[in-house]
Amino acid sequence: MVINCTAKGIGSIDMANQLGNLVQSIKSKVKSLKKTKKPYIKMDKSASVKVEIRSRKARKLIEKTLKAADTPGMRPLS
């Protein structure tokens, strides 16, 4: 934003216009953010997805346990 101010005071009108435009743009952006969004329907996880999540957690736990077993002096996993 370029503000052009002169000694005669004509630039203050330009500055006021630019400020007004800035305020209007901010108001419109805030108004657009306030609009309610359509709610979405949350879907339940299927049985196969639940099994996949459980198996990933089990694999991570096994990796962690094996890593701890291979490292002497490491404290227990509890």
The 3 state secondary structure assigned to 27-46 is: HHHHHHHHCCCCCCCCCCCC
Outline where the chain has alpha helix (H). 10-34, 47-70
31 and 47 part of one domain:
no
| pLDDT higher than threshold 70 for residue 1 | no
- Residue 27: what residue type? K
Question: Using CA atoms, how far apart are residues 67 and 44, in angstroms rounded to an integer?
Answer: 34
33 and 55 part of one domain:
no
75 and 48 part of one domain:
yes
Question: Using CA atoms, how far apart are residues 45 and 26, in angstroms rounded to an integer?
Answer: 41
Summarize pLDDT for 14-67 with one digit per residue, the tens: 888 888 999 999 998 888 887 777 777 888 889 999 999 999 999 999 999 999
Number of domains observed in the structure of the chain: 2
Give the range of the structural domain holding residue 70, as residue numbers without chain letter. 43-78
30 and 49 part of one domain:
no
